[in-house]
A and B are shown apart, each in its own frame.
Chain A
Amino acid sequence: MTSPFARQRYLIDYTLAALGRRRGKNAGLLAIYTLVVFVLASAMLFASAIRFESTAVLADAPELTVQELVMGRHGLLPADHLDKLSAIRGVATVEGRLWGYFYDRANGANYTLMVPGRDAAEYSVGPGEAIIGEGLARSRGFKEGGALLLVSQTGKLLKARIKSVLSNDSALVSSDLALISEVDYRRFFELPDGVYTDAAVSIRNPREIAKIVEKATLALPSARFVTRSDIARTYESLFDWREGLLVALAAAAILAFAIFAAEKASGLSAEEAREIGILKAIGWDTTDIIAMKLWEGGLVSLGAFLLGTVLAYIHVFLFAAGLFEPVLKGWSVLYPDFALAPRIDALQLATLFVLTVIPYTAATLVPIWRTAVTDPDEVMR
C-alpha cells in the first residue's frame, strides 16, 4: 500500500525538477506573480485598515452638521439660524463653528484653520495662541513655543505663539489643523461677527435624527444637513471606489497573467507532450500526470500568494504603506504621518487566495488535459 502523501511528494519532486530546467524564466515568473499579488494585497489591506480606522475615529463626529447654501454653494451661516435650530424639540446643543481653508504660499499647502468649540477645554486657545497639527508643523518646521506666522491674501498678518503641536497619533484627522482663537480668526479672514462656517448640532435621542432633520428643513429651507451616518457613508463609498479602482486594475493584471500563463502552457511543445507520453509509458497514471501539473500551478501560485501577502502586510503596517504614499498624496503638499491599526480581513484574504491561486492553477492544468489522456503507445511510434 503506497501512502498518498509519499506519492504526492514524489510528484512534487518531479514537477520541481522540471521547473528547474528553465530556472531563470520560472523564477522571473514567480517574481512577477508575487509582485502582482503584493500590489493587490497591499491595496486590500490598506483599504480595509483605513476603512476600519475612519469608522472607528469618526464614530464621534458631530451628529448633525448644518450648512447654509447660497446659489447651490457653501455660504456663511447667519447667527439667527442657531436660534431656530435650538428651538427644535430634541436638539440638545447647537454650536456655531468657524473653520476654513488657508492656502500658504510659502509651501503651497492648504491648511484648515479652525476655532475650537466651547467644550474643547484641553484645546482652548486665547488670542495670540495657536495649536497646530503634525503635518503643518513638519512642513514649515514649527516647534512648540515658536511663532505661527501667516499672511492672508489681503495682507492680514496672523502671528500666534504655538501653544502645542497635536500628537502624531491623531495625524489622520488633525495633520493640517491650526486652532486659533475666534478673535484672531475673524480678524485674519476679515469675517464679520454674527456669521459662522456651519453649525454642529447634538441631539438628545439619536433615533430621532430623521425627524429632527425633517423639522429643521422646514425651519431652514436654504440649509443643507449632513448627519453622522452621511459622513460614514461618504467614506464607505470613497474607499470602496478607490479600492475598487485598484482592485479592478490589479484583477486585470491577474487576468492578463492567467492568459499569458495559459498561452505559454497551451503552446505545449512537442517535447512536453512527448514527456507526458514517456511518463505514461513507464507507468504513470493519468491522475499522476494531472496531479503533477496541479502541483506545478499550485506551488507557484500558492508561493506567490503567500509571499506577496506577507510582504504586503509588512509594507502596509510596518512601513506605513510607503509605496502608496505618492499615489494617495496626489496634489496635497501635506500628507499625514500616520500608522494604521494592523488588521486582516479574513474574507478578503480568502477572496485574494481564490483570485490568485485558482486561475493560475487552472491555466497550467487545462492545456495538459488532452495530452494526459492520450495513449501511452505514442512514444513507441
Chain B
Amino acid sequence: MTTTPAGAGGMIELKDVTKLYNEGRPNEVRAVAGANLVVERDKVTVFKGPSGSGKTTLLSIVGCLSRPTTGRVLLDGELVSGLPERFLTEVRRSTFGFVFQRFNLVRGLTVIDNVMLPAYPLAPPHAELRERALARLDALGLAGKAEMPVEHLSGGETQRAAIARALINDPKIVIADEPTANLDTALTERFLEIVAELRAEGRTVLMTSHDPRIWQSDLVDAVVEMRDGRIVGEFA
C-alpha cells in the first residue's frame, strides 16, 4: 500500500457516507446519514454522542469492518470502500487494531493465544510471534498471566489483553469502541496512560465514548460529536 507524505491531508477520509441496516425492509434503520469527515494521522480522535447516534457504526466503517451503503472511504488517499471482502480483510489486518467494547477475547484460550490470534493469517515465524506477544504483554504488565485462560483475568486485565491483541500486528491505527464503559476511575486513568503511550509510538487512535473523562482529557486531539447518524460538531 502506498502512503502519502506526512501532512498530505487526512489519513482517513469519509465522503457522504451513509449506512442503512435492513435496507428496503420495514425495519430499515439509517445508522449514518451523509457523514463527511477527515481523521488526521497521529492524533487521538473521539466520537461522542448518545447511544444510537451512529458513532459505533461510523467507527466500524472507518475500521473497514463494514462497508458504507453509499459514499466513499479513503485510506491514505486510496479508495477502500469498494474493495472486495478479501482485500478489505487484508487492509483491516495490516492497518487496524481493534479493542471492542466487550473486549471479545476468545474464551477458553490462554491470554497469549488470544494475543497472537490476529497474526495467524500472516504466519510469522512462531518463536518470533511468541516473543512479540510476550513483549506486548510485558509492556502492559500482563507477562505473568500469559498462560492463563482469559476467563481468569479481571476487567482491567482483560482490557489490557485486548489492547495487546490489537497491537500484535503493529497497526498504524488503533480503534477502541467504548473502551472505558466497564472500567472504574483508576482503570480509566491507566487506560489513558496507555493511549498516551500509543500516541507517543506514532499511532493514530480512534475511540467512541460517552464518558466525559475520555473526551475531556488533554490527550484527546479532536472530538467528533454525533446525533441521529449525523455529525453535528467537531472540536479540536
Contacts and interface: CB of A to CB of B under 8 A. Distances in A.
Contacts of A170: none
A174 to B, nearest CB: 61
Contacts of A284: 89, 117, 120-121
Contact of A288 (B101, B107, B109, B121): B121
A282 B118 contact: yes
Contact of A10 (B92, B106, B110, B120): B120
Contacts of B169: 283
Q: Which secondary structure dominates where chain A touches chain B?
A: helix
A177 B59 CA distance: 88
Contacts of B106: 18, 275, 278-279
Contacts of A281: 65, 92, 98, 100, 104
A298 interface: no
A80 interface: no
A180 B120 CA distance: 78
Contacts of A380: 56-57, 59-60, 65, 100-101, 177
Contact of A7 (B98, B105, B120): B120
Contacts of B117: 14, 279, 282, 284
Nearest to B122: A2
A18 B89 contact: no
A286 B59 CA distance: 22
Contacts of A9: 123, 126
A278 B65 CA distance: 11
B41 interface: no
B160 interface: no
A70 B115 CA distance: 86
Contacts of B108: 17-18, 20-21
Contacts of B59: 380
Nearest to A274: B104
Interface of B: 56-57, 59-60, 65-66, 85-86, 89, 92-93, 98, 100-101, 104-110, 113, 117-126, 165, 169, 177
Given A286-B86, A380-B65, 12 more contacts: A2-B124, A7-B122, A10-B120, A11-B120, A271-B107, A283-B92, A285-B86, A285-B89, A376-B65, A377-B60, A377-B66, A380-B101
